[in-house]
Amino acid sequence: MELVKNAGIWIVASHFNGQFTDVTYELIGKASELGKAHNETVTAVVIGSDLKAEALYHYGADQVIYAADPIFADFDSNSYAIELEKMMREYKPLAVVFGADDFGRDIAPRLATKLETGLSADCIDLEIKEENGKKLLIQKKPYLNGGIIVDIVCDKRNPQLATVRPGMLMCPTPDEKQSGEVIKWQCSPKAAELLTRIEAVMQKNNLSKDIQKSEIIIAGGRGFKKKEDFEKLYVLADLLGGVVGATRPLVTEGWIDESFQIGQSGKVVSPKLYIGLGISGAAQHCCGVKNTQLFIAVNSDANAPIFQYADYGYVGDCKSFLDELISCLK
């Protein structure tokens, strides 16, 4: 199969432990949507070793190209970027999109520098606008703690590069009937190109309760004065089938693991239901809560900023309110 040149949207697949990440699928979904509307093919590119690259067809990629080599077994941004640069120079796609994860955050800046092109990082959405015969990738990026969304474009150079935060786009439902042949990219990476070596991995074992995937989040803040009061949130979470999250001070306090911290330096979540108890609503926390259908806040201070984000609010003590809520639900 011949790959299209000078066009198309490329997605760089990220993977961990032999599995593609969800953001890879989310990006393929978005790119297919944009590709259909603007007549562009969607190419997923995989760099790695021992991966089942054909799976990416199920999510809507038109083409999958795979650079496989044992040298690529462990992630290293330098060697990955060198290979990607070769592909980009040959195919000159319109746009290349990465997840804003361990892969994208490290490779995309290297690739942008090599190709002397623009990159915007940590976008929350992408659009395409056609202007003077050029298809512009509109990169929607939050600025100043999410108070503003800025549209960034790179109108003079190609490819247009962006990284997109995980969890911001819809994940398409895989369809096994959509399939194709994986195009092998001939490569011969050199060991000397590996600049970093992963020596040990310590994985968090609570990934089964991934807060980013949860549709119901019960979050607590410093309004809880004692750890045992805060821990009653788990009772509520169990009743509703949700996951407990927290603000940064509680993570610092050691009351909850940092993988459950919501916000700028924690996780960005987009649950259907978010209830925040005893949380002031600092921008650094609230910028991590997106696209809720129902946002409920309880705080003893009627002027707490969290009420600006809430659909329903109640001014009162979070501890006794929580007890009351639990007994109403039981």
Partner 1 sequence: MKIVVLVKQVPDLSGDIKIDPKTKNLDRRDSSVVINPYDLQALTLALQLKQQFNAETCAISMGPQKAEMALYECLAMGIDEAVLISDRAFVGSDTLATTLIIAQAIRKKIPDVTMILCGKHAVDAETGIVGPGVAERMGLPCVSNVCECPEIKNGKARVRRQSDTGYQTVSCALPAVFTIAETSSEPNYIHMNNIKKASNAHIETMTLASLQLERSKVGIEGSPTVVGSLNLVEMNKETVMLTGDQKEAACRIAALLQKTAKGV
Residues that bind ligand FAD (CB under 6 A): 221-223, 247-249, 261-266, 278-280, 282, 284-285, 288, 299-301, 304, 317-319
SS3 call for 161: strand
Question: What residues between 31 and 60 interact with partner 1 by CB under 8 A?
Answer: none
C-alpha neighbours within 13 Å on the C-beta side of residue 274: 30
CA atoms of 23 and 31, how far apart (whole Å):
12
Nearest distance from C-beta of residue 63 to partner 1, angstroms: 26
Nearest distance from C-beta of residue 208 to partner 1, angstroms: 12
Nearer to partner 1, 133 or 147 (CB): 147
Name which of partner 1, ligand FAD, none residue 197 binds, using a CB cut-off of 5 to 8 Å depending on partner kind: partner 1
Residue 238, Cβ neighbours under 10 Å: how many?
A: 12
Nearer to partner 1, 119 or 182 (CB): 119
The two tokens of residue 295 are: 């946002």
CA atoms of 63 and 55, how far apart (whole Å):
11
Nearest distance from C-beta of residue 168 to ligand FAD, angstroms: 16
Name which of ligand FAD, partner 1, none residue 221 binds, using a CB cut-off of 5 to 8 Å depending on partner kind: ligand FAD
In angstroms, the Cα distances linking 13 to 84, 147, 300 are 12, 30, 46
Number of residues that bind partner 1 (CB under 8 A): 87
Question: What residues between 301 and 320 interact with partner 1 by CB under 8 A?
Answer: 302, 305, 307-317, 320
Nearer to partner 1, 1 or 201 (CB): 201
The two tokens of residue 226 are: 């004692």
Instruction: Count Cβ neighbours within 10 Å for each residue of 175-211 and write b for 16 or more, e otherwise.
Output: eeeeeeebbebebebeeeeeeeeeeeeeeeeeeeebb
Q: Please report whether residue 192 would count as binding partner 1 according to CB under 8 A.
A: no
Nearer to partner 1, 49 or 145 (CB): 145
Q: Please report whether residue 145 would count as binding partner 1 according to CB under 8 A.
A: yes
C-alpha neighbours within 13 Å on the C-beta side of residue 127: 9
Nearest distance from C-beta of residue 262 to partner 1, angstroms: 15
Nearest distance from C-beta of residue 137 to partner 1, angstroms: 11
Q: Please report whether residue 92 would count as binding partner 1 according to CB under 8 A.
A: no
Q: Please report whether residue 215 would count as binding partner 1 according to CB under 8 A.
A: yes
Q: CB of 183 within 8 A of CB of 1?
A: yes
Stretch touching partner 1 by CB under 8 A, among 28-36, 43-51, 177-185, 191-199: 191-199
In angstroms, the Cα distances linking 302 to 60, 236, 277 are 48, 24, 13
Name, in order, each residue with C-beta under 8 angstroms of 72's C-beta and a sequence gap of 6 or more. 47, 48, 49, 79, 80, 83, 189
In this chain, which of 39, 176, 226, 241 binds partner 1, going by CB under 8 A?
241
Nearest distance from C-beta of residue 110 to ligand FAD, angstroms: 25
Q: Which of 77, 87, 68, 12 is nearest to 189 (CA)?
A: 68
